[in-house]
Amino acid sequence: MFDDRAPDTHVRYRTDALGRRVAVLPATCKLGHPLTAAGYRIIEDRSARVVRVSCTRCADAIEVDHFWSLTTAGAAPDHVELDDSPYVGTVPVMIIPHAQR
């Protein structure tokens, strides 16, 4: 399901009003599906310090670019949320470039 391709970028973190460490992950897959509608899986590889966010719709279609790969840093988060805003301007690493689809 996953391979060890180069990460797209790093996980964005924030501290919420309760002082909790929050990992903010992309809310949209690399092909544009809103993850809450398409379904998703978040799987952390702690030894590699990478978290992968897979779009179920793309994974079911055997889409090679079905997941984000994001490097983690620091302590494990207390909470996770999905939000595209911190990732505006991020250019995802695509195995099949958008131009070839």
- Kindly list the residues in this chain that would bind Zn ion in the complex (CB under 5 A): 29, 31, 33, 55, 57-58
Number of neighbouring beta carbons within 10 Å of residue 97: 8
CB of 16 to Zn ion, least distance (A): 27
The residue (of 54 and 77) whose beta carbon lies closer to Zn ion is: 54
The residue (of 6 and 62) whose beta carbon lies closer to Zn ion is: 62
Residue type, 87: Y
* Rounded CA separation 50/34 (Å): 22
CB of 87 to Zn ion, least distance (A): 15
